[in-house]
A and B are shown apart, each in its own frame.
Chain A
Amino acid sequence: MVGIGATEFSKAAGRSETQLACEAIVAALSDAGLDASDVDGVVSYTIDPVEEAELVRAVGFQELTWSSRVPYGGAGSQATLLHAAAAVTSGAARAVVVWRAIKARSGTRFGGAAVPRSPTSAHAGTSAAQWSAPYGALTPASWIALLATRYMETFGVTNEDFGRAVVQLRAHAATNPEAHYFGRPLSLEEHQQSRWIAEPGIRRADCCQESDGAVALIVTSADEPVAAAATTPVRILAVTGSALDGHEVASDHYVPDIGDFPESRALGNRLFAQAGLGRDDVDVALVYDAFSPVLLMQLESLGFCGPGEAKDLIGDDGLAVTGVLPCNPNGGLIGEAYIHGLNLTLEAVRQLRGTAANQVPAARTALVAATRSGVLLGT
């Protein structure tokens, strides 16, 4: 990964998603020392509204030989790197831009209560429009809450346990100038006074942001001159996707145990086997915290602890940069911003370069996981 770029993260960008994407891409090109004419591949994922043709026209790419999109929304966000890696290692492209541009607050609100009229989810991986919406479960929070209640009941986990994770994420955000909650930590008492979104699992403070902004990443093969010349090269050690029979994204209500994430377990097992690494080798974990319950559920399914044990791993400081598992040191999607998961990848690269706001000391290996896609990055 030779280049990273981003816009500011805000609640009202005041410009189009296409412009946000262009700005992030140009920043990533500058970071990599590449020109637009060096880029011959582009990858994004579903729900991104930017047209490839508009990007080509605005950024000035000369010829694209690779263009692809990953399904499953943010859950598939990390598989953009699988597409990019497949392109550059096969020779189908030499330099691939991965982007996500979003106006989830000033545009179509991701947490809004609109009644869906389309039976499909635009490849986001959910059938909730058909089966949950007629009952008033209109938002990802309400679909995930059904999983959270089952998880809480199975393992004796409480909303206060979720709150202890949120307090740590907000502490990270409070010292990250890029974060929405910069300078605004949250106490456990304040978390417990936060209003219910979907009882008994999810309060307002348990939800990720709705954000405006864009992130871009540039991938080449390791033997490209631009990669060889990088002072702090970041390598893709392993990358994979995982979509299992019968599973949906967020509205996973029909599988045998809805308080479990077997796709995330399969994902973690394959990543660590591919890279020949163990969980102990992870210096910093970036885990898709769309809602705080799924952070705990993923820490378990990824193998950092046993089922029901994430609350003990997290404790009061388990996720801190000096904790047992430094996690989402940018504040995560809850504390920093919701760029549909790609800001977690951005943070992983910053950690491995040693340039993060809340730097994990000597971070050499980073995991980014989003239930249906994940990547292990190393220096």
Chain B
Amino acid sequence: MTTTGAPAALRAEPARPGPVVTQDNAAFWEAARQRQLMVQQCRRCQQRYHPPRPMCPSCHSTDLGLLACSGRATIHSWTAVHYPQSPRFSYPAIVVVVELEEGVRLVSGLVDAQPSDVRIGLPVTVDFLDVEDGAVLPVFRLER
């Protein structure tokens, strides 16, 4: 899902922290910057996984690509973080573990929801949140 044509990108103020980018996870975050949810996939054996790693654990290939995901997922687990609080987030911060349609698990955030709205198993769809330094986080919202 992209936000092309949307009136304005989601933006958090004050700037939320971005991800810690490394050589091993850079492809995931670069895709997110392009407002694409992509997970690592081995070009040789087609295994897919997350978090990204420098080598395919199935075939030991280092020729690793990315699979574009539909952005559809279900909530595998969740929590509403209340305390302690960083001034760079708003609370309660709803954190989710989602199971992507593609069969890969991801930790993310749930936006525009209250703790009482959240249940394991609910369908969610991806959106993208601008944070500090031009970074973009994949986040999810409940399907209406």
Contact = CB atoms under 8 A, between A and B. Distances in A.
Interface in B39-79: 50-51, 57, 76-79
A201 B77 CA distance: 11
B35 to A, nearest CB: 16
Interface in B67-110: 76-86, 88-89, 91-93, 95, 97, 105, 107-109
A146 B97 contact: yes
B20 A146 contact: no
B19 A134 contact: yes
A195 B89 CA distance: 19
Contact of A196 (B18, B80, B97): B80
B1 interface: no
Contact of A113 (B16, B20, B57, B85): B85
A interface, size bucket: 35 or more
A258 B76 contact: yes
Given A115-B88, A135-B109, A146-B95, A130 B25 contact: yes
Nearest to B109: A135
Interface in B1-37: 16-22, 25
Contact of B82 (A133, A146, A199): A199
B50 A136 contact: no
B74 to A, nearest CB: 13
Contact of B107 (A117, A132, A138): A132
B132 to A, nearest CB: 10
Classify the interface of chain A: helix, strand, loop or mixed: loop
A199 B76 CA distance: 15
B95 A137 contact: yes
Nearest to A111: B84
Interface string A182-221: 0000000000000111111110100000000000000000
Contacts of B139: 135
A202 B137 CA distance: 26
B120 interface: yes
B131 interface: yes
A105 B109 CA distance: 29
A254 B105 contact: yes
Contacts of A115: 17, 86, 88
Contacts of B88: 115
Nearest to A131: B107
A116 to B, nearest CB: 7
A196 B105 contact: no
Contacts of A111: 84
Interface centre among A118, A136, A138, A142 (most CB of B within 10 A): A136
Contacts of B89: 136
Interface stretch (A46-54, A92-100, A147-155): A147-155
A130 B77 contact: no
Contact of A254 (B17, B20, B51, B83): B51
A14 interface: no
Interface of A: 111-119, 127, 129-139, 142, 145-150, 153, 195-202, 204, 245, 251, 253-254, 258-259
Give 5 closest A-B pairs by Cβ, nearest first: A136-B93, A145-B79, A135-B109, A113-B84, A150-B77
18 contacts: A117-B20, A119-B20, A119-B22, A135-B95, A136-B89, A136-B93, A136-B95, A137-B93, A137-B95, A138-B84, A145-B79, A149-B79, A196-B82, A197-B83, A199-B92, A202-B79, A253-B97, A258-B77
Given A130-B20, A145-B79, A253-B77, 15 more contacts: A116-B20, A117-B20, A119-B25, A146-B77, A146-B95, A195-B82, A195-B83, A197-B81, A197-B82, A197-B83, A198-B79, A200-B115, A202-B79, A204-B83, A253-B105
